[in-house]
Amino acid sequence: MVNRSETYRFTQKICALFLFLFLGSVVLFAQEKDRPREGEGIYAFLRRNNRSGATYQKEFLELNKGKFGKNQSLLKGVEYTLPPLKEGEAAPSTATSAPIIKLREPLFGKALEEYEVISDELKGATFYVVSGHGGPDPGAIGKKGKQELHEDEYAYDIALRLARNLMMRGAKAHIIIQDAKDGIRNETILKNSKTETCMGDPIPLRQVERLKQRCEKINELYKKEKPAYARAIFIHIDSRSIHKQLDVFFYHSHTEASRRLAQTMRQTFSDKYRQHQPQRGFSGTVEQRNLYVLKEATPVALYVELGNIQNSADQERFLSVNNRDALAKWLCEGFIADYKK
């Protein structure tokens, strides 16, 4: 005759063992962690850990609340909890994963000249990154208290940050306007100088000669390399009335590819504003313009204005180091979206 008491106790033990094993596996999954590599954002970090896609990203943000920097940036040295892998998906093998590729670009400055290629999202793509003005021409000049803000200095810093982001994702990026002394800088007020060159050549003062010089450099490189995917970007800061607040806006040439690139960039920025400043909205525009550099550059070209250097609200967009970094990353993401198309 079956002893009901013994059967009940046996059933309890089996359930307790099953519960212990189940909870143990949950804990193991929850404890899988990793630290971001230099320059990695959430997308690249999760992709490296075989967790691509919106679902993983949402779970990752929930699991790591309070551990992010501005604009949900990953913090150096912080250990992040990874979402559990879904059934049938395997964690990346450390034994077979590709080695970290470390490269150097002295133009980025001593602190950031070394960088890692963290993804191949832009493998095969070539970019020509041009910051506006430079050399004898400071471009637009604004003021912050008694300090002068020169367009060429801030455009150059953002151009370097953009080039670094592109190169970290496997692209080739030619930095057309260069300053051997000024790398990527983290100061709010950037010191003014006239040391910029056009890839080593002195920059002419006359506007047409200056624009012709940089377009010729781009076209020479393009003709020599013949890349399958090539994009040129000209980075500027506008000057309007001090009361005129502007969002980032874009100019394109008459070509369909240039128009599509500008629209993609605008959509990227609109999405970012919706994510980080949902109450504010984004009013940046896209317009066709008959500008010299858009006409004369052989690759598909984009002209971007980052705001009004005279307006105090717009100034924060490029005076803040975090904002300069965000602008560069968002421009990079816009190029990635364009490249995928």
**pLDDT for 5:** 57
Angle at 54 between CA 52 and CA 55, to 5 degrees: 90
Selecting from 3.20.10.10, 1.10.3720.10, 1.20.140.150, 3.40.630.40, what CATH number does the domain 101-340 have?
3.40.630.40
CA distance 222 to 58: 40
CA distance 120 to 341: 16
Which secondary structure element, helix H or strand E, spans residue 153, and what is its range?
helix 151-168
191: burial class by Cβ within 10 Å (0-12, 13-18, 19+)? exposed
Q: What is the pLDDT along the chain (341 residues), one digit of tens a residue?
A: 545 555 556 555 555 555 544 444 444 444 689 999 876 788 778 888 888 877 888 899 999 999 998 767 899 889 999 999 887 666 555 444 455 678 999 999 999 999 999 888 999 999 999 999 999 999 999 999 999 999 999 999 999 999 999 999 999 999 999 999 999 999 999 999 999 999 999 999 999 999 999 999 999 999 999 999 999 999 999 999 999 999 999 999 999 999 999 999 999 999 999 998 888 889 999 999 999 999 999 999 999 999 999 999 999 999 999 999 999 999 999 999 999 98
Contacts of 93 (CB under 8 A, 6+ apart): none
The answer to whether 125 and 172 have CB atoms below 8 angstroms apart is yes
Nearest Cα neighbor of 181 from 246, 134, 140, 239 is: 134
CA distance 240 to 310: 6
CA distance 336 to 341: 9
The answer to whether 306 and 237 have CB atoms below 8 angstroms apart is yes
The answer to whether 175 and 257 have CB atoms below 8 angstroms apart is no
Task: Please give the distance of CA 226 from its chain centroid, rounded to a whole number.
Answer: 25
Contacts of 45 (CB under 8 A, 6+ apart): 34, 36, 37, 74, 80
pTM of the model: 0.76
**pLDDT for 30:** 47
Q: Domain ranges for the chain, please list them.
A: 4-81, 101-340
